[in-house]
Amino acid sequence: MRALALTALALTLPLAACESEEAVPDEVPALAGPAPAPPEPVADAVGQGGAVLLNLNTTAEEDFQQVPGVGERMAHEFEEYRPYVSIQEFRREIGKYVDEATVASYEPYVFVPVRPNESDAETLAQLPGVGPQEAEALAAGRPYASDAAFLDRYADVAPGADRERAALYLDGGS
């Protein structure tokens, strides 16, 4: 009987430890299988319908907890380093708390607002339909007289991409 009680206790303690959000893990195991497809943007961030893509500079701290693997403590860290001016800044600051793979697992759910005349290529690459080559082409078209001029260039370098959705990624575009 005592062995059964000890076994139950041994199984309960790890579960209780998992419920605490006081500590930020040093390392989070990688997820098995392919990375999830990026969600459609909505809500405070971008667009409508589907999953939430959160603006790192304006989303409420508690809303960051919708991101898989983000608890209270990490949501606070997301908010603490605002405003983010680039996706690399987000990676660097959050990378102080978790490994690179974990930071990468957060990125399909968040974005840094794009500043057409200032954002680096990796931040521009957050736009729908934009990869490294398209981001470089957008950067090479600077300066843009307006957000509309930037979106015109965007439509040229990322044919078929959703211009209205991309506008929501712009700093002040939501």
pLDDT digits (tens, 9 = 90+) for 115-139: 999 999 999 999 999 999 999 999 9
Closest CA to 128 of 157, 85, 89: 157
What's the rounded Cα separation, in Å, for the pair 64 and 55?
A: 10
Q: Which of 123, 69, 118 is nearest to 98 (CA)?
A: 69
Angle at 81 between CA 150 and CA 71, to 5 degrees: 110
Domains identified in the chain and CATH numbers: 38-112 (1.10.150.320), 115-174 (no CATH)
State yes or no: pLDDT of 103 exceeds 50.
Answer: yes
Q: How far apart are CA 16 and CA 153, in angstroms?
A: 53
Over residues 27-43, the pLDDT tens digits come to: 444 444 444 444 444 34
Average pLDDT over residues 104-113: 95
| Both structure tokens of 138 | 């957008």
